[in-house]
Amino acid sequence: MINLKALANRRAEFMSMLHEGVAILTTSKHQARNRDVFYPFRPDSDFFYLTAFPEPEAAAVFVPGRKGGEYLLFCREKHPEMERWDGRRTGLEGAIEEYGADQAYPIEKLQEVLLELLPEYENVYTQMGKDSDLDKEILSIISDLRTRSRQGARVPAQFVHLDHILHEMRLIKDAEEIRIMRKASRLAAKGHVRAMQMTRPGMYEYQVQAELEYEFLKGGGLSVAYPSIVAGGRNACILHYTDNGNRLEDGDLLLIDAGAEIDCYASDITRTFPVNGKYSGAQRDVYDVVLNAQIAAIDAVRADCSVTEYHDVAVRKLTEGMVDIGLLEGDPEELVENQAYRKFYMHLTGHWLGIDVHDVGDYKIGEQGRSLEPGMVLTVEPGLYIEPCADVDEKWHNIGIRIEDDVLVRRSGPEVLTADVPKDADEIQALMAE
Ligand code: GLY
Ligand code: MN
Ligand code: MN
């Protein structure tokens, strides 16, 4: 459970950025999977960031400076009969006592309360375009107020998009978020270690997925942060492979990209290891190129460095490495210049990480890559993916390798949150041989 004091501070900071206004956020809808079976519910990330409220059918309204209460939470009321079937509801009292709302209302009252509140303020802060039902409700309120404006009803003057304010906040993690992300990272690492220990030739990808996710679930990671990628052999060259249905053959590599979610915070780890416990010569050569690039890129994750820098470092190191082992030919500087590496490395070296696995926040300020700041968390995940083709020696064909860690930017240098799972090839082989 997220520390309530930290949440209250977060809300206070958020409200200090609203001027003369009302902010409205809703959570995700509970989606049907088939007939009367639903997908597990997962709150909306922005809503959760400010409320930690875990139920569907809820909205938060923030009105800084309002005498009767600044933080209004709208949710489902208690309903003993429904709760017997579908599980407990927090209810209105719980919204105040357990989640720190100043006032709580049934969700059905949202429109009515907004109709009273909106005319009193200049600005309405929403996430227009995200929840079409809310958009319609707000438009209908505004239209209603307009028709009544001749009787003196005031209409808010401006609509302001909330995303920028919220996403800049979410980009810099507070101490409570870092605590949770450390936990999620450690748990994900445990799953990866177990997967390495259990993998044998002849197993199916989904069987390794079961071993990995067993640790996640056992440790309280009730959901994965995104569908686990368990990709044996040539499947590793498919960047978002999630079929996980193939047999693992002796001599293949296995790429696992998987992360546990704790209290809605993601971890995101990739490791690539040999199914039989021993890298072949060609596999080891490519592996060490990726590993050296990853280590060098992590070292470039420093406060005040540009966010583009660690990608550039990875690209340079990968290119030099590919020339060293004979996968590319030519002058590394020229090969970087003309992007020859893109044949084997076609994605960026990482992304922000947080409540969303590809977390929010701008990467550029104007045309420039933004400077890294303490409290940002990002992934460092270079890779090489070698599809069979005539001008590449067969020994490299179908090798797909990615190594990914989650890194916290600190004044004192990068902190690798996911360091508990080995990535040195010898260490991986030793772990698998145990
Ligand atoms: N797991 C998705 C990614 O690494 O970006
Ligand atoms: Mn990943
Ligand atoms: Mn990632």
Are residues 260 and 227 in contact, defined by beta-carbon separation less than 8 angstroms?
no
Question: pLDDT tens digits, residue range 346-392?
Answer: 999 999 999 999 999 999 999 999 999 999 999 999 999 999 999 99
Q: Which residue has the tokens 């930290």?
A: 6
Catalytic residue among 44, 381, 405, 406: 381
Q: How confident is the model at residue 39 (pLDDT cuts 50, 70, 90)?
A: very high
Q: Residue 282's pLDDT is what?
A: 98
Question: pLDDT tens digits, residue range 47-70?
Answer: 999 999 999 999 999 999 999 999
d(CA 203, CA 250): 10
Per-residue pLDDT at 150 exceeds 90: no
Measured between its terminal Cα atoms, the distance across the chain in Å is 36
d(CA 57, CA 86): 14
Per-residue pLDDT at 151 exceeds 90: no
AA letter at 208: V
CA of 394 to the centre of ligand 3 (A): 29
Q: What tokens were used for 343?
A: 């044949």
Q: What 3-state class would DSSP assign to 256?
A: strand
Are residues 267 and 417 in contact, defined by beta-carbon separation less than 8 angstroms?
yes
Compute CA distances 41 → 28, 31, 33, 188, 290, whole Å: 8, 8, 11, 21, 37
Q: If you take atom 4 of ligand 1, which residue's CA is the nearest one? A: 268
Contact residues for 295 (Cβ-Cβ < 8 A; gap 6+): none
Are residues 170 and 354 in contact, defined by beta-carbon separation less than 8 angstroms?
yes
Does 257 contact ligand 1 (Cβ within 6 A)?
yes
Radius of gyration of the chain (CA): 25
SS (H, E, C) 25-66: EECCCCCEEECCEECCCCCCHHHHHHHCCCCCCCEEEECCCC
Contact residues for 405 (Cβ-Cβ < 8 A; gap 6+): 269, 294, 298, 379, 380, 381, 416, 417, 418, 419, 423
Q: Residue 195's pLDDT is what?
A: 98
Are residues 25 and 127 in contact, defined by beta-carbon separation less than 8 angstroms?
yes
358 is catalytic: yes
The H-assigned helical ranges of 52-174 are: 80-86, 91-97, 110-117, 132-147, 163-171
For residue 404, which atom of ligand 1 is closest to its CA?
Answer: 4
**Among 105, 85, 80, residue whose Cα is nearest residue 95:** 105
For residue 354, which ligand has an atom nearest its CA? Answer: 3
Question: pLDDT tens digits, residue range 195-233?
Answer: 999 999 999 999 999 999 999 999 999 999 999 999 999
Question: pLDDT tens digits, residue range 289-305?
Answer: 999 999 999 999 999 99
Q: Residue 1's pLDDT is what?
A: 84
Per-residue pLDDT at 153 exceeds 90: no
Q: How confident is the model at residue 234 (pLDDT cuts 50, 70, 90)?
A: very high
397 is catalytic: no
Residues for the chain: how many in total?
434
Are residues 302 and 409 in contact, defined by beta-carbon separation less than 8 angstroms?
yes
Contact residues for 124 (Cβ-Cβ < 8 A; gap 6+): 21, 22, 24, 118, 138, 156, 158, 159, 160
**Fold exhibited by the domain 172-433:** Creatine Amidinohydrolase (3.90.230)
How many CB atoms within 10 Å of residue 298?
Answer: 21
d(CA 239, CA 244): 13
d(CA 307, CA 313): 11
250 is catalytic: no
If you average pLDDT over residues 35-57, what whole number do you get? Answer: 97
Per-residue pLDDT at 6 exceeds 90: yes
CA of 6 to the centre of ligand 2 (A): 28
Contact residues for 164 (Cβ-Cβ < 8 A; gap 6+): none
CA of 351 to the centre of ligand 2 (A): 10
Burial 268-278 (b: 16+ CB within 10 A, else e): bbbbbbbbbbe
Instruction: Give the CATH number of domain 4-169.
Output: 3.40.350.10
Per-residue pLDDT at 182 exceeds 90: yes
CA of 315 to the centre of ligand 1 (A): 18
Q: Are strands 21-26 and 400-402 parallel, antiparallel or unpaired?
A: unpaired
Q: Which residue has the tokens 């082992």?
A: 325
What protein residues have CB closer than 5 angstroms to ion ligand 3?
268, 379
Q: How confident is the model at residue 275 (pLDDT cuts 50, 70, 90)?
A: very high
d(CA 382, CA 401): 9
If you average pLDDT over residues 136-143, what whole number do you get? Answer: 93
d(CA 391, CA 122): 65
70 is catalytic: no
Per-residue pLDDT at 284 exceeds 90: yes
Q: Where in the chain is the domain with CATH 3.40.350.10?
A: 4-169
The region of weakest confidence among 153-157, 234-238, 358-362 is 153-157
Q: Residue 243's pLDDT is what?
A: 98
Q: Where in the chain is the domain with CATH 3.90.230.10?
A: 172-433
